[in-house]
Structure 1
Amino acid sequence: MNALFTDRADAGRQLADALLQDYGRHGNLLVLGLPRGGVPVAYEVAARLHAPLDVLVVRKLGAPMNREYAMGAIAPGGITILKQDVVCALNIRQEAIAQVIEIESAELDRRVDAYRGDRPPPVVADRTIIVVDDGLATGSTMQAAIMAIRQQDPALIVAAVPVASSEAHQLIRREADRIVCLATPAIFRAVGLWYVSFPQTSDAQVTELLARSRSA
């Protein structure tokens, strides 16, 4: 199994190349990165497409016995997605689900405040939105993001990721108006396996990249 990308910046540049022909210098374009890891990828996309960059905070709902295993996701606007097959298979009680949602909702609010501060949310209506993450394992967070964006009447939603599992790709292809994905490996396992360097992205890095994009 060979890595496809050096790091998130490299993945973003490769993804931008795939988007450039259709969306380069698009007059009404907005790039939204999914924090934290999607923002370094989205930064490169926005820079290459000469588009504004912002964030859409979404949170994975990790199963109580394994927080890395997604049982769903939440997004602003009251969006909650639960994977009922996972809930049933793991016999997760409603009380446990409610507790996870409460914890992740608080973290979502904290990150919105940290990344946005006093800045108003971006205008989404009637714009082409490219929503970017560093990869899709289950697709739950991207699905929640698309649902949140859809509430705001965009002209077009393009999901853009460097790599995805085949299952997540099929899910998001149904949810988004278009999907741009550079690779869907037959054996996926985890997003980070397709990067040479895949450290956690910090809040400070997210806010720095947003500020740098606004300055540019």
Structure 2
Amino acid sequence: MYKDREEAGDELARVLQDYKNDESTLVLAIPRGGAVIASRISKALGIPWDFVVPKKIGAPHNPELAIGVVMQDGSVIVNENARFFLEVNESYLQQEKQRLYKEIQRRMQLYRKDRPYPELKDKRIILTDDGIATGFTVKGAIKFIRNKNPREIILAVPVAAPESLEELEPLVDRVVCPLRPRMFYAVGQFYEDFSQTTDEEVIRLFEKDSKGYDNLPSDK
């Protein structure tokens, strides 16, 4: 059990001390909750952080059931088994892709303003969130990052459903996850305070923490 996201981020930072002050390492957060985790890691290790924004495609009439994920470059991963079982047609997928891609771009502009996106090629990427339930959005984030040819991807999360982590482990180079409880129902179950992180908090953290990292190489 973690007190809050700050404590969870500090716990991850202790495990990641080997990367302290490493100029080739970058933390990427899945917002909103992941931004708090990334901020704590960034402070403790003296390395910059930024965002990666996947958005889940929910099933018709059941938006919590993931049938796909859209990434910030417009790429899509579809759960073909769920799509077949639910008889989801191509028209629905395309409409959701367009809607969610616009939302991703809105969020990126809201959080990052007009900052150029950092170069990921040959970097060590620490991908983080405040926890993993199904892992489908994380899978989309990993695919996006992998397509940018990083040197290494480290998935670092405070808590995760073991079966989801098993699916994700082969997709990355290292996993850091202190809590892998067998009795997993929801991420918030493992936090005393799991109150929602607001957009305002995300913006404040990123603006404060990004000072001093404004001249990073950009992804052109």
Q: CA RMSD in A?
A: 1.5
- TM-score calculated relative to the size of structure 1: 0.92
- Percent identity among equivalent residues? 38
Q: Is 2:154 the partner of 1:155?
A: no
Unaligned runs of 5+ in 2: 213-220
- Give how far 1:102 is off: 2.2
Match in the other structure for 1:17: 14
Letter in 1 for 2:5: R
- Give how far 1:163 is off: 0.8
4+ residue stretches of structure 1 with deviation over 3 A?
none
Q: Is the 8 A contact 1:129 1:154 kept in 2?
A: yes
1:212 match: secondary structure: helix
How many aligned residue pairs are there?
A: 212
- Give how far 1:179 is off: 1.1
- Give how far 1:168 is off: 1.4
Match in the other structure for 1:6: 3
Quote the Cα distance in structure 2 between the aligned partners of 1:54 and 1:210. 8
Quote the Cα distance in structure 1 between the aligned partners of 2:178 and 2:70. 26
1:92 match: secondary structure: coil
Q: Is 2:66 the partner of 1:73?
A: no
Quote the Cα distance in structure 2 between the aligned partners of 1:166 and 1:72. 21
Higher share of residues assigned strand: 1
- TM-score calculated relative to the size of structure 2: 0.90
- Deviation track 1:52-108 (CA, whole Å, cap 9, x = no partner) reads 111111111222222222222111223211112222333333333333222211111
Match in the other structure for 1:199: 195
Alignment of 1:55-204 (within 5 A): 55-204=51-200
Q: Is the 8 A contact 2:74 2:101 kept in 1?
A: no
Unaligned runs of 5+ in 1: none
Q: Is 2:204 the partner of 1:208?
A: yes
Q: Is the 8 A contact 2:159 2:177 kept in 1?
A: yes
Q: For residues 176 and 122 of structure 1, do their structure 2 counterparts lie closer, same or farther at Cα, with a shift above 3 Å needed?
A: same
Between 1:186-195 and 1:92-101, the stretch displaced more is: 92-101
Between 1:73-82 and 1:169-178, the stretch displaced more is: 73-82
Quote the Cα distance in structure 2 between the aligned partners of 1:44 and 1:9. 6
